[in-house]
Homo-oligomer: A and B are copies of this chain.
Amino acid sequence: MLILALDTATDKGSLALMEEDRLLGETSLESPGTYLTQVLPGVEALLTATGRRLEEVEVIGVSAGPGNFTGLRIGQATAKALAWARGLPLVPVPTMEVLAAQFPFQPHPLAVLLDAKRNEVFFGLYLCPGDRPRLVEGPERLPVAALPARLKPPLVLTGPGLNVYRQFLEEALPSDLLWAPPEMRHPRAGTLARLTGLRLAQGLTAPPAQLVPTYLRPAL
């Protein structure tokens, strides 16, 4: 089963092509402001680099949100169009679940923080004792100032919200919280691809024409 996975929910975009247990290729890049000109050429470059053709792709996984409004719209527009045009199943995967799944076999709860702008974060608390995370709190939108009351050790902190609100969080949170290493704070499309396969096996697909992002905030 050849899976194409596409994440543009944050300030970094990530694309991956996975076949069974093989991650054929993965590429992640900070977005210099516009995914619109990069996503489809990125998909094409990934297919070329791995020697595959779009016709061989069997399922498309996409970051469901919450996250960056414009990023989500462009990513989902692309994924929906590809799935619809090729008659492929489309699997939306919650963005925070992708971030939590990057910490398998983890004894501590995982607090995922995404930037929601205006001094707010999207927050979700996960447990990931195996290789698949389970949501135990949230997802919800919170003022950054409300986080210290919610985040008690032992806890692993992850997500791009850490970089955005680092200064406040470093000052306001207990010093014994575990900060994810910087390279693990953004969604990897390789992990999104794995979760896509698991969700597809459970029938958790979305009709390409109807899918809308999970915003957790009224769209502007």
Which residues of A approach B to under 8 Å, CB–CB?
Answer: 12, 16, 18, 20-30, 32, 49-51, 101-108, 131, 156, 163, 166, 178-184, 186, 188, 190-191, 193-194
- Report Cα–Cα, A27/B190, bound state, in Å: 11
Contact A183 B29 (CB under 8 A): no
> Chain B residues with Cβ under 8 A from A27's Cβ?
25-28
> Chain B residues with Cβ under 8 A from A166's Cβ?
21
Contact A28 B25 (CB under 8 A): yes
Copies of the chain in the assembly: 2
Instruction: Known A106-B105, A107-B107; judge A183-B188 contact (CB<8 A).
Output: yes
Least CB separation from A49: chain B residue: B29
> Chain B residues with Cβ under 8 A from A181's Cβ?
101, 104, 131, 191, 194
Instruction: Known A50-B29, A105-B103; judge A182-B23 contact (CB<8 A).
Output: yes
Contact A30 B21 (CB under 8 A): no
> Chain B residues with Cβ under 8 A from A28's Cβ?
23, 25-27, 190
Beyond the given pairs A21-B182, A28-B190, A183-B194, 11 more chain A to chain B contacts, judged by CB atoms under 8 angstroms and listed by A's residue number, are A22-B163, A23-B182, A25-B28, A25-B29, A29-B49, A29-B50, A30-B50, A101-B181, A104-B184, A105-B156, A183-B193
Contact A190 B194 (CB under 8 A): no
Of the listed residues A103, A105, A166, A180, the one surrounded by the most CB atoms of chain B closer than 10 A to its CB is A105
> Chain B residues with Cβ under 8 A from A179's Cβ?
131
Listed by A's residue number, 11 A-B pairs whose Cβ atoms lie within 8 Å are: A21-B166, A21-B182, A25-B28, A26-B28, A32-B51, A102-B184, A103-B104, A104-B180, A105-B156, A107-B107, A183-B188
- Report Cα–Cα, A102/B218, bound state, in Å: 36
Of the listed residues A22, A51, A186, A194, the one surrounded by the most CB atoms of chain B closer than 10 A to its CB is A22
